[in-house]
Amino acid sequence: MDQPDAVIHQPVRLKIMAALKVMPESELLEFVRLKTIVGATEGNLGAHIATLEGAGYAKVIKDFNGKKPRTRVALTKSGRRAFEKYVAYLRDIIDQAEG
């Protein structure tokens, strides 16, 4: 990878990807919890999640918990691979700097 993945490279999306990557593949992270972790507003977080979903990196599940609407997010397999490549790109930069 010559350049970082532009979708992931944005700071809020990088935080989202990192938070979702630590979740087991079968688990979803609730939007409210992700908002707290990332420190973004609802609108800002929603826009960044939409970008990740559009790139195929995240999936969004909307349902109800009782009568309350609930939004949950997870990385797709493609998102997990993209994040791993992004981390490898950053490691390569560090390795080159240490020479």
Q: How many CB atoms lie within 10 A of CB 47?
A: 13
Chain centre to alpha carbon of residue 14 = 6
pLDDT at 37 (0 to 100): 96
Residues above pLDDT 90, as percent of the chain = 90
As beta bridge partners, residue 63 has 70
Tens digits of residue pLDDT in 52-72: 999 999 999 999 999 999 999
pLDDT of residue 40: 96
Residue 3 has pLDDT above 90, yes or no: no
Which residue segments constitute the domains of the chain, with CATH numbers given?
A: 6-92 (1.10.10.10)
85-94, Cβ contacts within 8 angstroms, sequence gap of 24 or more: 85/1, 85/5, 86/1, 86/4, 86/5, 86/8, 86/9, 86/14, 86/17, 88/1, 89/1, 89/4, 89/5, 90/4
- The answer to whether the pTM exceeds 0.85 is yes
User: Is residue 1 very low, low, confident or very high in pLDDT (cuts 50, 70, 90)?
Assistant: low
